[in-house]
Amino acid sequence: MQRSGVLDGVGDVRKLSLSAIPTREAHGTAVMVEPRYFDRVYKINPYMEGSIDRDRARTQWEHLRETLESCADDVRVLDPRETQELVDDVTAPLASNRPDMVFVANHALPTPTGEGFVLARMATDERAGEPRHFAAWARRQGYDVATAPAATFEGMGDALWHPGRELLWGGYGVRSEREAYDELVDRLDVPLISLELTSEYYYHLDVSLAPLSESTALVQPEAFTDDALAKIAAVFETVLEAPPAESTAALAVNLEVFDGSVVLGTEAPETTQLLEGAGFDVVTVDTGEFQKAGGSVCCLTLTAGTPS
């Protein structure tokens, strides 16, 4: 069995044996947040430009939900109207003041079984109150909810499970802090490969790396240091490189995979060709309004298991 801990060195990652790491069942539940209050009222990433067509955003979100219902085992929706009464602290920010709460992937990280979550500690004041609402909802759903690490950690925006294994990939350097992962791996008793992010355009790991299967990943090389790219290449047999233009204009790497089907936001023909050439079925949904706030399919979805 692979020892838990953070693997920072390329040499340590090259010694990693996936077969020595416990297997992990795929998380088949997709959690979404109803976009009732979605809007763009501040700027905390380079993509935040222009006004939001909220009716169009609603239509796009509904289409994404219908798409996920066709390929995920279960889809659960957090309605922000219902979480305010569940939040312990009445002085906490109102859900209606959380325009980015729809990007649920940043709220937490599911445990290996998916029956619980470790909460996020957001890097920006604008989003700091969101995980509290998610925690209240998740507890009512029957999930175990653990407190956030002491250091900044933005949930599945920066921590991604390796398909089929109890192995985490952890991005740091723009939003999440490297120190968060020392605490995280101690709690979860799993190994984690750290990846340093270097660009404000790739501020989260989920816009930079998409683990597609145990052996294949989609990556945007411009997001990483050379050491980080070497770690990715040491583990995945096949590394597909997304075109830079589609990685920004279409957030093409910010996708979800359910049972071999890739759900991609907005038309990205070169990326689609790469994915189909690697044997994946690609379903495209329009997430253009959400991309104006810096998020697409993966940001809008938090994968989990079924609570015990």
Catalytic site residues? 204, 299
**Are the beta carbons of 146 and 187 closer than 8 angstroms?**
yes
Q: What is the C-alpha to C-alpha distance for residues 25 and 2, in angstroms, rounded to an integer?
A: 17
Q: Please work out, in degrees rounded to the nearest 5, the angle formed at the alpha carbon of residue 287 by the alpha carbons of 283 and 288.
A: 130
Compute, in degrees rounded to 10, the torsion defined by CA atoms 183, 189, 190, 196: 10
**Are the beta carbons of 165 and 23 closer than 8 angstroms?**
yes
Q: Could you give the 3-state DSSP secondary structure of residue 135?
A: helix
Q: What is the DSSP string of 142-211?
A: T-EEEPPPSS-B-GGGTEEEPTTBS-EEEEESSSS-THHHHHHHHHHT-EEEEEEB--GGG-SGGGTEEE
